[in-house]
Amino acid sequence: MAANSRDLQLIELKDMISQLNTTIKTLNETIAKQQAENDNLKAELAWFRRKLFGSSSEQRNVDIEGQLKLFDDLAEDEKPAELIDPEIVPLEKKSRKKKPTLKEQFKDIPTRQVVVDTLTDEDKICSLCGTQMVPIGTEVIRSEIVCTLPKLERVEYVAITYGCPKCKDTEEPQFIKDNGKAALIAGSYVSESLLAYILYRKYALYVPLYRQEQDFLQLGAPIGRTSMAKWAITAGQKYLQPLYDYLHRELLKRRFLMMDETPVQVLKEDGRRAQTKSYFWVVRTGEDGLDPIILFNYTPTRAGENAKEFLEGIEPGFYLMADGYQGYNKVKETNRCCCFAHIRRYFLEAVPRGMEKDYTNPAMQGVLYCDKLFAYERSYKEKGLLHKQIYNRRLKDQKPVLEGFLAWAEQTTPGSNAKLKKALAYVRNRKDFMMTYLEDGRCSLSNNLSENSIRPVTVGRRNWLFSDTPDGATANALYLTIVEMAKAYDLNLYEYLKFLLENRPSKEMTDDQLANLAPWSETVQALCKNKTE
């Protein structure tokens, strides 16, 4: 019996040990899982801290010598394609510019001279002989810049009535009245210069209408924000829409386009809550060497059908650069290009804090692949290569890098780095588009041009906050188009807006007539070009 009792105890002990081993194994697995989750959370926290407090630049500040030798420790069959060093043309060292004089610095603003007269008659008496001194010459003793606040004035247009002196005493006296040029907006007191000033301040300086209303009160003019908004919408529909439609027709003739989109808020849209997101799209020409065209388009939704509809009528086979948003797949019969700035950004965000110089880290390796491609692009621009030359050099220099990049992305495992997993998935999902830019030297490596064009919307959004109606949002798209076009052609925005309002584009104008109002026309360049360098 004693033996049986001991046997039972041994069996119970064995069962207990087995259960403990199972528990320990489960605990170890849980601890390992929690450790991985902690590492993930730390990486996320570091990323958010960089976003909040770090530099917004995506460029690395460290110059990495031999940056693509990081694969030397891999087995021969695991190495990506051999990478070719870029041919960098050394730039000539620029000498420090001499500080301009006041005359040179302010050569484009009017100058007037004021003769100083602070000496009394007694001061002008000669101290030796007592004779009254006379002027013998002048000298500029100092220069200053004087600010004159904006000035408003009310102008009354007086019509002259003409009568026929022979017919005045007859039964049918003849009269004619000179009614002058029609008002910019019928029944309104707004002038071309006033509306151009309001639009310039809103879209170039991001001053919302309610603040402009306060500024006008300081000038003694009670001009309300509601009136300003109505003027902007009416002028946009009547005068800017015909020019916009012409630019749209010209855009559809081009073969290299870029697109991007950003959310906006419109309060009063039929059947939609005020909090629902609406969208601005920017559609612009790419780096084809022709006159740039940049258009904004407002739509209530982000549906890809909006992009398809905007490009309706373009000849199939054009190249379209856009980010990874699936809605662009609605645009058919196009050669899609992939933005490598987006790819690089995903890998850069996946680099754990403190590992920016650890080139064995997979996320950092992804950044280096992208850096290699951008280094080649910079070298082509520095050399001033033509599109055909860029095409040939890309095949020689960049195609092997891309092949190696794609092979590396297929083989790399992200481990517990969730952001790296996202970056690798982004690359794998776009591998069909990543080689497209090699087909023509006019294709771009990134979508940075359209991102830069849409940036004023994000800045203006902080000040305008929202559009009240769809008509207001459409007007915003029209004026943002004019703003970006003016920038692209180095025009003074106020002068160009005033020029357009004075010349009043209309639906009755031919394309040749509208072309004379476009920012690239010789007339516009002569009248509205920025004077300052």
Q: Express each pLDDT in 353-388 by its tens digit.
A: 888 888 889 999 999 999 999 999 999 999 999 999
Q: Which of 92-106, 279-293, 459-473: highest mean pLDDT?
A: 279-293
Closest by CA to 303, choosing from 329, 283, 282, is 329
Residues 6+ apart with CB under 8 A from 354: none
Is residue 427 a part of any domain in this protein?
Answer: yes
Q: How far is residue 70's CA from residue 404's CA, in Å, rounded to a whole number?
A: 13
Residues 316, 347 within the same domain: no
Residue at which a domain ends, from 396, 427, 446: 446
Is residue 48 a part of any domain in this protein?
Answer: no
CB 262 within 8 A of CB 480: no
Is residue 523 a part of any domain in this protein?
Answer: yes
CB 191 within 8 A of CB 498: no
Cα 417 to Cα 33, 62, 347, 370: the distances in Å are 13, 24, 11, 20
pLDDT above 80 (res 56) = no
Residues 299, 198 within the same domain: yes
Residue 504 in 3-state DSSP? coil
Is residue 424 a part of any domain in this protein?
Answer: yes
Residue 301 in 3-state DSSP? coil
Residues 333, 350 within the same domain: no
Residue 104 in 3-state DSSP? helix
Inter-residue long-range contacts of 417-422, CB under 8 Å, 24+ positions, other chains counted: 417/39, 417/40, 417/43, 417/350, 417/352, 417/362, 417/363, 418/40, 418/43, 418/44, 419/43, 419/44, 419/47, 419/346, 419/349, 419/350, 419/363, 420/347, 420/350, 420/362, 420/363, 420/366, 422/346, 422/350
Residues 464, 405 within the same domain: no
The confidence band for 2, taking pLDDT boundaries of 50, 70 and 90, is low
> How much helix, strand and coil, in percent to the nearest 5, is found in the chain?
50, 10, 45
Residue at which a domain ends, from 400, 417, 446: 446
Residues 307, 360 within the same domain: no
Q: How far is residue 319's CA from residue 333's CA, in Å, rounded to a whole number?
A: 9
Q: Which of 58-72, 225-239, 269-283: highest mean pLDDT?
A: 225-239
Residues 332, 248 within the same domain: yes
Residues 325, 193 within the same domain: yes
| Pair of tokens at residue 279 | 């969208």
Closest by CA to 242, choosing from 69, 491, 471, 500, is 500
Residues 331, 479 within the same domain: yes
Residues 334, 346 within the same domain: no
Residue at which a domain ends, from 421, 446, 471: 446
- Which carries the bigger pLDDT value, residue 232 or residue 82? 232
Is residue 430 a part of any domain in this protein?
Answer: yes
CB 281 within 8 A of CB 299: yes
Is residue 109 a part of any domain in this protein?
Answer: no
- The per-residue pLDDT for 86 is 38
Work out the mean pLDDT of the chain and round it to a whole number.
Answer: 85
Residues 221, 357 within the same domain: no
Is residue 405 a part of any domain in this protein?
Answer: yes
Task: Quote the pTM value.
Answer: 0.77
- The per-residue pLDDT for 267 is 81
CA dihedral angle for residue 496, residue 500, residue 502, residue 508, rounded to 10 degrees: 160
Residue 278 in 3-state DSSP? strand
Number of structural domains, the chain?
2
Closest by CA to 126, choosing from 138, 118, 134, is 134
For 523, the domain range is 181-338+456-533
- Which carries the bigger pLDDT value, residue 253 or residue 52? 253
**Each residue's pLDDT tens digit, 236-283:** 999 999 999 999 999 999 999 999 998 888 887 877 887 788 899 999
Residues 258, 198 within the same domain: yes
Is residue 20 a part of any domain in this protein?
Answer: no
Residues 248, 383 within the same domain: no
The confidence band for 79, taking pLDDT boundaries of 50, 70 and 90, is very low
- The per-residue pLDDT for 469 is 86
